[in-house]
Structures are given as structure tokens and as C-alpha cells.
Amino acid sequence: MNIKQVAKKARVSTATVSRIINDSSLVSPETARRVWRTIRQLNYHPDSQARSLVSGRSRILGLIISDITNPFFPELVKGFENLALQNHYEVILNNTNYDPARMATCVRRLLERRAEGVAIMTSEMDPELTDELAKRGIPIVFLDVGSVRNRISNIRVDYAQGIREAVDHLITGGHRRIGFISGPMSLKSACTRKSAFLKCWRAYGFAEDNGLIVEGNHKIDGGESAMSRLLQLKPRPTAILASNDLSAIGALGAIRLAGLRIPEDISVIGFDDIDFGQFTHPPLATIRLSRTELGGKAFNALYRILHGDSKKGEEYNVETHFVARESTGPAPQPGRQTQ
Amino acid sequence: MNIKQVAKKARVSTATVSRIINDSSLVSPETARRVWRTIRQLNYHPDSQARSLVSGRSRILGLIISDITNPFFPELVKGFENLALQNHYEVILNNTNYDPARMATCVRRLLERRAEGVAIMTSEMDPELTDELAKRGIPIVFLDVGSVRNRISNIRVDYAQGIREAVDHLITGGHRRIGFISGPMSLKSACTRKSAFLKCWRAYGFAEDNGLIVEGNHKIDGGESAMSRLLQLKPRPTAILASNDLSAIGALGAIRLAGLRIPEDISVIGFDDIDFGQFTHPPLATIRLSRTELGGKAFNALYRILHGDSKKGEEYNVETHFVARESTGPAPQPGRQTQ
DNA sequence: CTGTTAGCGCATTCAT
DNA sequence: ATGAATGCGCTAACAG
């Protein structure tokens, strides 16, 4: 079932059918109606591959993430995909599983599919691969990677704002010993978050105490073990900030396991605001980062380069904000500390 | 950068280059080497659209799910995508958001992309759309939809086994009043799970008590409100089976809110075995359904139709099993029931 | 307003 | 073992 058959059945040329499919304005309403009828009748669906080939526009976007089972990503994907769908783009989703080789494979395949733009939402990116894309003029949008260049945009997450709000909240509550559970230092995004915390902490004029900073793995079990290490400290921290909610949830478990109360003995704050945070015990205070917004902005960044006036890349900003919930409270009195 | 330029630079014909890309056996090793070198040098990537057009094979598979932010799906997607990647297929992922109109859009677009197969992992499917695909001979795999036909396979989840194990466990513990929190009855998959429970319950010779069956929404809040309704019953159930883990987690919250203990006062069992279940308080007993396996089997089902000997559809089976964790215990003695 | 024609990038005959 | 020529389904000039 191709355009020729439709043309024959409707007694017009293929060009007319093509016009009707794409831009019915240049064709008489009557023939248009007739042809549309034949199209429906024959259940004709134009071949996008052929259209892409001749038009040079694939209407495919690549979306590269590290791992869809990481609760950070599903909302991002949904936000991106919704807009893509509305604008008649297809999305090819790729999990790299933090594997550079797999990332390379994905990029090569997106190249072969002639993707019109690529959103790279994981910071572990080989610059050589970026060049591959850039050389061909394919728009790219990064997440928290600084290089805005021609046809390369970047979404910057303002971690500082949310962290400042959270630390403010803790300090107001009398906390002075704040532990930090970081993500794996092999991940650039985890480093960024840690630096943002340290910077904020120093801005308050506090000395930075490396003993209070423990590395987790951005998963629940890593948060648990990181927290149990923090609990060894004497005096132990009165509050914990975690690099993501999963780590914080692990921390909740470790604290409870040690027989301590939240927030009476220790306050805990997460990061990201994943859905589950509302349902932990106690509900987890966190720093919200809207991943839906992130996904949406990633799409828009590509769209602006593809269709906007400015072919140059732009910098986008996503805010973060503290969300108070029951996992934080005032610092315990030093004398009354148990154990 | 196309095949012609490579051919010119390597002083061969385009046919030779094409042969080398696809099937280097019919070409002299020496020219092959030379051409490969040029290909790398020019950084040539064959255009999949053009290849698809002439070969009639798009190497695209559609994966239709209802909502990627539902924790049921990410692992399924990952399992499917991993195999697809290995076998050089591209995956176009579509969230329908439970919207039939959106489902129709997705199917139409997959048709236009000439997808070679479609995995429909949500039961809310208009039969008309299925026909659209079937008419064109596009392989389909469904999840828990009974119609194995030509080029249409089905993955059947054996809910009964896991439910039987769970109910066995409860009955052995002395439980006789077991509440069931179902999913939304507007979803076919939720109905299937509920029927499986009822069937199992009757198989034990117990009467079915509609008061013990309450409808949730497969999310945490729905589980909470369903549970609080169940807590009104006198005598109240001593154990709860939920249609998915999210509902069960909501139930945990409602039970604790009512001042009752888990599992001393009420036992709770979920369904699916999502990662979070291990970290709730107490850890959630559940009925495991491997979504990774599900995604993998979905891919294999399509692959078998595309490349296997049997072009007819097949029935696949995925088992479910009870996973004991601390949210269950023996039934409380009737006399000692609080409140 | 509509038809004719060329060619997008590639795989595949059919020759040689 | 290699090359020349054809056409996949469609859009875009150009012509009328």
C-alpha cells in the first residue's frame, strides 16, 4: 500500500497525493476530499522512512539516560516524550547502564538513524562522541555540562538554591554537625552535588569536616552503610543531607536500626523528591528537582535549535527547592544525646 | 557522507561498499580492508532509513506501555531494550497514559515507521488497532490477553501459583480473614489479579466475602484509603493481600496510622516485588513477578516470529512466587485483638 | 491547481 | 571478485 496505489485509485498523480498529505492548501478542496477518502479506504500510511530519506528530516530524537530503573529518570523520560509526541517526533530511548562502550554504540546508532537531535541526560560522556554529533551539526542538549556552543545547549540545575534552603532550615533548628552522604565519586553528577553542598557549607563560615562526608552509591543499600559509618562518629551528626532520596531512605533505615529516632535524634534530608519520599516513615524532607521540567526543557532546547531563530545553543535553568517534611526537627540538646 | 563518496575515495563501486558493509564474504579481503579503512577515515555511517527503504526491514520495534513512572515498567523496558540492542533493533517506547486515543496515535505512528513488531504491554487495547497491525502481518506480543493467533503471541503470567503460595503461608499462620486490596476495576490487569485471588480463595473452600475486597488504584494513596476502609470492619481482617506493592505500601501506612502493629496485628503481602519493598518498615512480603523476564520474553516472542521457524504465535509463561519478609506473621489470637 | 520527472542513499539483480 | 543499472516510496522542482 503505497502512494502510487492511492494515486491510481483516486485518479490523480502521486504528487497530488503527496501535497494532500503534507500541505493540503495548494490543492482543490474537492480532490483533497476525494483523495482523503481513498487514503482512509485503503488504510494508507505514508512510509516515514521514505519521507525522511527525501526530505532529509527523520523526525527522530535520541534520549540518552543511564538507567531507566533509577527513579530519577522515568519522569524525565515522560516529560520529554510527551512534548516529542505532540510535536510529531519519535523518541529513541537509550540506557547506557553507565557503560561508556554502550554509550558509544547508542550514539553510533542514532547517527545511523539520522536523529535530528540528541538529549544526553547522563554526565558520563566521552567528548569524542560529542564531536561526532557536533561535526554533523546535530543539536545536543546536556545536563549540567558546561559547554554551550553552536547547536549545543545545556540545562543547568541550580543545586545551590535548594541546598541553601535546606541548610538554612537545619541551622535555624540549631544543627551544627551535618553529615553528607554523597553519591559515587565516579559519577560526575554526584561530584557536582557534593561540591554544591560543600560550597554552601563554607559560605556559612563553617569549616569543612571530611569525616562528616561519606560516600554512598545513590542507592538504598549504599545510603544504609554510609549512614552506619556516620553513626560511629562521636559526637555523631545531628542532621544528614543525602545526595539523593534513595541514599536518604537508606539512612532512615540505618538510623532506625541503631535504635535512634527521626527526627528527635537525627534529622534527614534527601534530594530529588521522588514519589516514595512522601510515604517513608517519617515522610522524607527533601530538595525538589522537577524531572518532568527537566525532560520538558531538554526537548525544548532541541526544538529551539531545530526550529527557532537562534541556532546557537542556550543555557537553561532548573531550580531546586527545599520541601519540609517530618524527617527534620530541631537539633537534640548535646547533654541529652543517647548512647 | 554517503556510500558514493566512500566508493569514490576507495576507488570501488558503491555495490562493493554495500557488500562490505553487509556481507564481507563475497569480496576480496584486501579490498575489504582498504574500504573499511576509508569508511573509518571518512567516518561514514550508513543511513538506516535508506537501508530500510530498500531492504524492507526497518529494524524498529514498538514497545507500548501505559506509564513509565509506574514502577512496574522500568525493569520491563530495560529487559526488552537490552535484548533489542543486542540484536540490532531500535526500540520506540510509547506511554499511552491509559488514554485510548493516545494508544491509537502510537500505533499509527509505529505503522508509519514500519515497525517490524510491536509489544503491547498494557491490556487496554482496542481490538481495531490490533487488526490494523495484524492485517499488515506485523508480529504482536500481548501481556495476558488470550488470543494467540497467527503472528500474535501472548505472555501469560501465572498469578495463581504465587497467590497460592502466599495464601498457603497465611493460612498456615492461622489467618482466616484475609482482606484484598484490588487495583482499579477499570483496568483489565487489575481484574485479572483479583479473579486469580478469588479463585484461589474459593479453591480452599472458603466463602467469598465481598466486604473484604476493597478497590484501590494501584498507587500508594489508594492503598492507604482502601486499607482504612478495611480497618473499619469488625472483626477486622488479620491479613491483607494487595494487588500490587504500591497498594501494599499504602496499606502499611494506614495500619501504622491506626496505631496497629505489623505483623503482630495485621499481616501484609504485596504483589510484584518492586525494589522498594525490601526497604519498607517492616520489609514487605510480596509475590514476585520478574518484569525483566517479562520484557525479555516479550522481545523473544517477537524475535521468534520474525526469525524463527514458526510464524504462528506462541504462548509464553511467567511464574510468580511468594517472597517471605517481615510484614507477615501468625494471626493474632481473637481475644487479644486491640480496639 | 495538477502532472512529470529526478533523485534522496542504499541493496540487489545481472553482467562481466 | 567487481561494476552498472534499477528501484524501494516519497518529495520537490519545474512545467503546464
Task: Cis check for the bond before B235: say yes or no (omega within 30 of 0).
Answer: yes
pLDDT in tens, B1-54: 899 999 999 999 999 999 999 977 778 888 999 999 999 999 999 999 999 999
CATH superfamily of domain region A60-157+290-319 = Response regulator (3.40.50.2300)
Domain ranges of chain A: 3-55, 60-157+290-319, 159-289+324-337
Q: Do the Cβ atoms of A90 and B93 come within 8 Å?
A: no
pLDDT in tens, A293-313: 999 999 999 999 999 877 889
The identity of residue A93, as a single letter, is: L
Interchain contact B109–A (C-beta under 8 A): yes
CB A77 within 8 A of CB A93: yes
Beta-strand ranges (E) seen in chain A are: 60-65, 90-95, 117-120, 140-143, 152-158, 178-182, 213-215, 239-242, 267-269, 286-289, 315-323
Complete DSSP assignment for A113-127? TT-SEEEE-SS---H
List, as ranges, residues 252-291 from A with C-beta within 8 Å of B: 253, 256, 275-276, 278-279, 281
Q: How far, in Å, CA of A193 to CA of A212, rounded?
A: 15
Q: How far, in Å, CA of B143 to CA of B119, rounded?
A: 8
pLDDT in tens, A29-62: 889 999 999 999 999 999 999 999 999 999 999 9
Residue A153 pairs in a beta bridge with A141
C-alpha cell at A240: 544528614
Distances (CA, A) of A76 to A93, A104, B240, B262: 12, 22, 34, 35
- Does residue B62 register a pLDDT over 60? yes
Q: Is B55 exposed, middle or buried (0-12, 13-18, 19+ CB in 10 A)?
A: exposed
D strand bases under 7 Å from protein CB:
1-5, 7-13
Complete DSSP assignment for B300-318? HHHHHHHHSS--B--EEEE
Shortest alpha-carbon distance between residue B15 and chain A (Å): 19
Mean pLDDT score of chain A: 93
Q: How far, in Å, CA of B233 to CA of B213, rounded?
A: 11
Fill in the DSSP letter of residue A187: S
What's the whole-number mean pLDDT along residues A202-206? 85
C-alpha cell at B68: 513509565
Shortest alpha-carbon distance between residue A262 and chain B (Å): 14
DSSP alpha helix (H) spans, A136-187? 159-172
A230-236 long-range Cβ contacts below 8 angstroms, 24+ apart: A230/A179, A230/A181, A231/A255, A231/A258, A231/A260, A233/A179, A235/A177, A235/A334, A235/A337, A236/A177, A236/A266, A236/A337
Chain B residues touching residue A73 (CB < 8 angstroms):
74
Sorting pLDDT into bands at 50, 70 and 90, what band is A193? very high
- Does residue B81 register a pLDDT over 60? yes
When comparing pLDDT for B187 and B26, which is higher?
A: B187
Residue-level pLDDT at A338: 52
Block residue for cell numbers 556510500: B3
What's the whole-number mean pLDDT along residues B225-229? 97
C-alpha cell at A233: 562518629
Q: How large is the greatest C-alpha to C-alpha distance in chain A, in angstroms?
A: 93
- Does residue B339 register a pLDDT over 70? no
Sorting pLDDT into bands at 50, 70 and 90, what band is B336? low
Q: What percent of chain A has pLDDT over 70?
A: 98
Q: Do the Cβ atoms of A279 and B249 come within 8 Å?
A: yes
Block residue for cell numbers 503460595: B165
**HSE-up of residue A307 (Cα within 13 Å, Cβ side):** 9
Sorting pLDDT into bands at 50, 70 and 90, what band is A124? confident
Q: Which CATH number fits domain A159-289+324-337: 3.40.50.300, 3.30.365.10, 3.40.50.2300, 3.40.640.10?
A: 3.40.50.2300
Sorting pLDDT into bands at 50, 70 and 90, what band is A336? low
CATH superfamily of domain region A3-55 = lambda repressor-like DNA-binding domains (1.10.260.40)
Residue-level pLDDT at B257: 92
Domain A60-157+290-319 matches domain A159-289+324-337 at the CATH topology level: yes
**Partner residue facing B49 (CB), from A53, A71, A109:** A53
pLDDT in tens, B112-163: 999 999 999 998 888 888 999 999 999 999 999 878 888 999 999 999 999 9
Q: A117, A122, A108: which is closest to A65 by C-alpha?
A: A122
